[in-house]
Amino acid sequence: MNVGRYLYSKLSSTSAVTALVGTRIYPVFIPQNAAYPCIVYMVENAPLDPSKTHIGTHDIAKVTLRIWQDAREGQNAYDVLDSIDAAVRTALDGATGTAGGVNAEVIQYLGSRDGRDEQMLAYLRETTYNIIHK
């Protein structure tokens, strides 16, 4: 299953998220000349049962969301990261159901960390979730 479809559908249909980033929600990397703030997601899939001694019905996806904001806005940029992070967490943490054709059994927030880009032009908030899905 393509958990990326779930993430895009869920986040782009959550008004608290789109009020902050619009539909600037991208897989893997930020497109050239894209505006900030934006969200980039990456997905690692694995079987829910790592022994795989039988055919599994569920998989677990470890999802990393990178929230980016222009650093030239100083403290306000960091506050924007906090707001987007909170909106995303409200949308995803504990969520169940189908979005983008993917059925999420449960989503669990694992944590976050702050960072920056190499040129120190953008702030970064990296958050991680597990999504158990069919």
Cα torsion 76, 41, 122, 14 to 10°: value is -20
Model confidence pLDDT, tens digit, residues 42-51: 999 866 555 5
Model confidence pLDDT, tens digit, residues 64-117: 999 999 988 888 889 999 999 999 999 999 999 999 998 999 999 999 999 988
Q: Does the predicted TM-score (pTM) go above 0.75? A: yes
CA 44 to chain centre: 12
Which phi and psi angles does 43 have, rounded to 5°?
Answer: -125, 135
Model confidence pLDDT, tens digit, residues 17-75: 999 999 999 999 999 999 999 999 999 986 655 555 555 667 889 999 999 999 888 88
In this structure, what token pair is assigned to residue 121?
A: 């032009």
- The strand ranges marked E within the chain are 25-27, 38-47, 59-70, 97-99, 102-116, 122-133
The pLDDT assigned to 117 comes to 84
Residue 10's pLDDT band (cuts 50, 70, 90): very high
